[in-house]
Amino acid sequence: MTSTTTSSSSSHIALITGARGGIGRALLAQLRAAGHRVAAVGRDGATLADLEADAHICADTTTPEGAAAAISACSEHLGGPPTLLAHCVGSTLIAPLHRSSPAQIREVLRVNLDSALFMLQAWVEGLRSAGQPGAAVLASSVVARIGVANHEAIAAAKGGIEALARSAAATYAPLGLRINAVAPGMTETPLTAGMLRADAMREGAGKQYPLGGVQTAEQVAQTMAWLLSDGASRITGQVIAVDGGFTSVRPLVR
């Protein structure tokens, strides 16, 4: 694990995992614009170099050791544990269960659910030791909230993340720790670029959403930033769907 820093000052220290992804990058910019010092975490230090963060931390958060190391490096370089956590690590697998190998299934669970468990555990421990309150937001998906064909493995992983957020919110509310999640629908990110490259696929995807079109990473990041803000000080144990109405209302077909 390596880390580099720049100097800045703000009211909170924030840590974003998966910071080089589309939503992570957008959230990084929004939190820094709000005056927070932000540590960007990723597995490959070279891919973090172009991020305008206050600390660049190379760590594998799918392991307990890597997650703990990320918190430790943030504390060392920014002067304390992160009171704000946004866990944006994730991958996907679009395949029916009978065509998903055991290795593929384990990898989806490792990248999505294991990383959320270990990162949240390390973050909680850091703030418990410091006696500080804080707020965390995890990344789920609409496929955990409504049945979508050929998404069994990723739906199971993201469903676990939603259950994790609710249980941890109950456990740590007395310590002043708020824990929530967002469940985005189809979002314009590098992860979905292949699926949205063709105009016909983009148009078809957009028609599934009552509000129409494909949302931006910035729109998802705005909800995450709000959940981390004082404006959401009475919100915990919730999963907010950022999906253009996909999981709650039927689109009007014209």
For each of the domains in the chain, give its residue range(s) and CATH number, in order of start: 3-190+216-242 (3.40.50.720)
Q: What is the pLDDT of residue 3?
A: 45
Contact 74, 57 (CB under 8 A): yes
C-alpha to C-alpha distance for 73 and 79, rounded to whole angstroms: 10
| Model confidence pLDDT, tens digit, residues 216-244 | 999 999 999 999 999 999 999 999 999 98
Nearest to 67 by CA among 77, 59, 75, 56: 59
Q: What is the pLDDT of residue 10?
A: 44
| Residue that has been written with the tokens 């703990």 in this structure | 68
- In whole angstroms, what is the distance from residue 106 CA to residue 114 CA? 10
Handedness of CA 184, 190, 195, 197 (dihedral sign): positive
Q: In terms of C-beta density within 10 A (0-12 exposed, 13-18 middle, 19 or more buried), how is residue 69 classed?
A: buried
Distances (CA, A) of 240 to 70, 88, 96, 170: 26, 15, 26, 17
* pTM score, whole prediction: 0.90
pLDDT of residue 191: 67
**pLDDT, the chain, mean:** 90
pLDDT along the chain (254 residues), means of 10: 42 94 96 97 90 96 98 96 97 94 98 98 96 97 94 97 98 98 85 63 72 88 97 98 90 70
The Cα 36–Cα 228 span in angstroms is: 11
